[in-house]
Amino acid sequence: MLLPDDLRQRLATEIERLRPHAAVAWVAPANLHVTLKFLGQIDEARAPAVADALRSASARHRAFDLALRGLGAFPSPTRPRVLWAGLEDDAGALAALADAIDACCGELGFPRETRPFAAHVTLGRVREPTRRPQLGEALARPVDFGRVAVARVSLMRSELSPRGARYSELAASPLAVQ
């Protein structure tokens, strides 16, 4: 799911505030997004079938809004590996959409997720995972980035390079109108 420019800019400002607290491979602001299902490397010939399945799954879900609020880390703020901004999914709409996408991809032979869906935007990956109390304190600061309207999902391709990932949209699928 792509984020609007204003939210990506607010997240970029927060990344700059966090930057001094740890050696982190930060996500470039243009690449900040929400992953609903990671497919890994797939053959180009399979992309149309995945796009069709994504359109079918998306059409059964209504558009909705989410709050982008709070910071955290996986597995924990004191021993972080991945730093994230949280998405509040109180109604469970994003989790239901992620589950539907996981199911339709499962029907195409992609492995099903074994962990529960955790709604977040990855901000960066810690290069050397060690105990970082100052980073944990910096993540504890309350922050509200705003709301995001979820009206479509995208099938994305990521191409890794020494300068970071480049993303391109292969297909977009609208959600049902509210």
Catalytic residues: 33, 120
CA distance 158 to 119: 20
Convert 122-148 to b/e letters by CB count within 10 Å (16 or more is b): bbbebeeeeebeebbebbeeebebeeb
42 three-class SS: coil
| Residue 60 CB partners (closer than 8 Å, separation 6+) | 100, 176
Give the number of other CB atoms < 10 A from CB of residue 176.
Answer: 11
Beta-sheet strands, E only, within 6-163 = 24-26, 64-75, 80-88, 120-126, 144-150, 152-161
- Rg (the chain; Cα; Å): 17
